[in-house]
Amino acid sequence: MTEKNRDFVPALGKSGSLDRYDAAIALMTREKRWRSDLVRLVDAQPGERIVDIGCGTGTLAIALKAAASANEIFGVDPDPAVLKIARAKAEAAGAKIDWFEAMGDELDAFEALRSCDKIVSSLVLHQCPMEVKEAIAAQMFRLLKPGGTLFIADYGEQRSLLMRMLFRQIQLLDGFEYTEPNARGCVPEVLEAAGFETVEEVKIIPTPTGSISIYRAKR
């Protein structure tokens, strides 16, 4: 089965509308807070090759390019509709980014994505079944060069009753089966099973839809 015919949970879940995507993400997830934290933690250096897996409409990829314009930035997403938006946003921002339409666990065929310095991914794993979370983590490990760093921003363990209640909104959008492992704190275990070392949850940001965690791990 190729990336062209595999099913995936689209942006804003199964009932979302792309023309409202950026505004909804900003409102629902405190996007400015966690994205700025993520860009700061990535600390892009000139000449690095950075891959954004599940890049959506390109907001993070564009921010990373702005942080270090000499970098090679690659955005990957299986949804051609969001990539169309990403390309338009990047062109408007004057940001040269290479875009790839593909599932996050099927990137071995793309020579350009191999031996990257850093990988980022945001709001992706919670939308995936457990076996796909594991496959994406394994793909990330293969793409990174030895010593490379992975950064993930996603819904992590929901540690309080309030965060659990708020996270129900996401579970209704994206499905209980896919999202529940994240709510129980599966991400560090998934990354360690893929071979990553020094897996850290470096930031937890409460949002109107549950807490978002930023994870860092080394290849």
Tens-digit pLDDT profile for residues 109-160: 899 999 999 999 999 999 999 999 999 999 999 999 999 999 999 999 999 9
Give the DSSP H or E segment for 40: helix 31-42
Give the DSSP H or E segment for 140: helix 130-143
Q: Are 122 and 55 in contact (CB under 8 A)?
A: no
What is the Cα–Cα distance from 32 to 145, expressed in whole angstroms?
A: 29
Full-model pTM: 0.89
Tokens 């949804």: give the residue: 79
Q: Any residues with CB less than 8 A from the CB of 17 and at least 6 apart, and which?
A: none
Q: What's residue 19's pLDDT? A: 67
What is the Cα–Cα distance from 64 to 93, expressed in whole angstroms?
A: 12
Q: What's residue 207's pLDDT? A: 96
The encoded tokens of residue 104 equal: 């996050």
What is the Cα–Cα distance from 51 to 119, expressed in whole angstroms?
A: 5
Cα-based distances in Å from 196 to 21, 25, 79, 149, 210: 32, 29, 27, 9, 26
Tens-digit pLDDT profile for residues 148-181: 999 999 999 999 999 999 999 999 999 999 999 9
**For the chain, which residues make up each domain, given as ranges?**
13-218
Q: Assign a CATH topology to domain 13-218.
A: Rossmann fold (3.40.50)
Q: Is the pLDDT of residue 16 over 70?
A: no
